[in-house]
């Protein structure tokens, strides 16, 4: 008669289970079990978004960004936001920077805390300057954000020194890439903003975007190209493929690591073309 030994049976089962689990345990990165959240970067604070902050992460950065091969004339510009603080405008002007865009607003909840120094400072050294709005299509309507923008620094005047407002529409730094919208829904939101901005100012706003984001989130919609100047973001030696409809860019943000302030841009034309855009 065989005697059943439960202790021996349980020990064998435990050993078998350990054998199965050991390869799985070795496959888990060190520290993951102790800190599951370590692999997820924290979202930035609302209001801290700046033009092009998602370009490197999503599109990368090519070698020698900013090449202008084959182009007749380019005029250097910069874009700034609150993270730049007080900007040394005189140094930028003396280095050849002749135009600037300053972040004015984001959503309907944030105004640039350095706006006065940046907007007035660029003007005072002689630059042609304008303002931009960082869009958050998941928070309020396009029309509401256009009103907030115009009411807080996003207006336009035909003084020869003020560029039309720019809509910064790009990767969502706070959540889903396309802000939870379908491609048709995103196009409708952008149209709502642009229509309201033109109603308030009489000018067609500039659209700042990256081709990869535009393709993913609008379905590469080409319906704005006839009226709205394109400001393309690409940190490489050329601009690459442009979004549908636009045969050329008006401005190109080519780097986020330029001198004095990081974001530097080429205007596609000489200084007289910058003046022409300002004058409408």
Q: Which residues are catalytic?
A: 79, 168, 170
Question: Cα 257 from chain centroid?
Answer: 15
d(CA 15, CA 195): 69
Q: Is 271 exposed, middle or buried (0-12, 13-18, 19+ CB in 10 A)?
A: middle
Residue 212, SS3?
A: helix
Provide the 3-class DSSP secondary structure of residue 56.
helix
Tokens of 137: 């299509």
In this structure, what is the dihedral angle of CA atoms 61, 65, 71, 74, given to the nearest 10 degrees? 110
Query: Could you give the CA distance from residue 40 to residue 38 in angstroms, rounded to a whole number?
Result: 6
- Any idea how long the chain is? 280
Q: What is the CA angle 136-138-141, rounded to 5?
A: 80
Q: Tell me which DSSP letter residue 4 carries.
A: P
Q: Whole-angstrom Cα distance, residue 92 to residue 78?
A: 9
Using DSSP's 3-state secondary structure scheme, residue 8 falls into helix
76 forms bridges with which residues in the sheet? 266
* CB-CB contact of 89 with 122 (8 Å): yes
Enter the tokens of residue 145. Answer: 């954000």
Note whether 256 and 263 are within 8 A (CB).
yes
């Amino acid at each position: 008669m065989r005697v059943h030994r439960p202790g021996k049976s349980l020990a064998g089962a435990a050993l078998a289970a350990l054998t199965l689990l050991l390869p799985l345990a070795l496959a888990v990165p060190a520290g993951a079990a102790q800190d599951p959240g370590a692999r997820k970067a924290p979202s930035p604070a609302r209001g801290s978004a700046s033009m092009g902050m998602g370009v490197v992460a999503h599109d990368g950065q090519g070698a020698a960004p900013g090449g202008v091969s084959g182009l007749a004339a380019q005029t250097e510009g910069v874009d700034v936001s609150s993270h730049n603080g007080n900007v040394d405008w005189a140094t930028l002007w003396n280095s050849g920077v002749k135009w600037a865009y300053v972040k004015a607003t984001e959503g309907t909840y944030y105004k640039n805390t350095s706006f006065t120094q940046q907007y007035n400072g660029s003007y005072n050294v002689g630059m042609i300057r304008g303002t931009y709005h960082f869009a958050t299509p998941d928070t309020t309507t396009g029309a509401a954000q256009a009103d907030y923008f115009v009411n807080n620094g996003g207006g336009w005047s035909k003084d020869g020194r003020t560029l039309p407002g720019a809509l910064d529409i790009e990767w969502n730094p706070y959540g889903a890439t396309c802000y939870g919208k379908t491609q048709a829904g995103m196009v409708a939101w952008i149209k709502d903003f642009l229509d309201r901005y033109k109603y308030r100012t009489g000018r067609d706003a500039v659209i700042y975007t990256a081709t990869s984001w535009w393709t993913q989130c609008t379905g590469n919609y080409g319906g704005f190209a006839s009226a709205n100047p394109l400001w393309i973001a690409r940190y490489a030696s050329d601009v690459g493929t442009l979004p549908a409809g636009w045969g050329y860019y008006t401005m190109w943000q080519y780097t986020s690591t330029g001198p004095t302030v990081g974001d530097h841009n080429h205007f596609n034309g000489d200084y007289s073309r910058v003046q022409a855009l300002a004058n409408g």
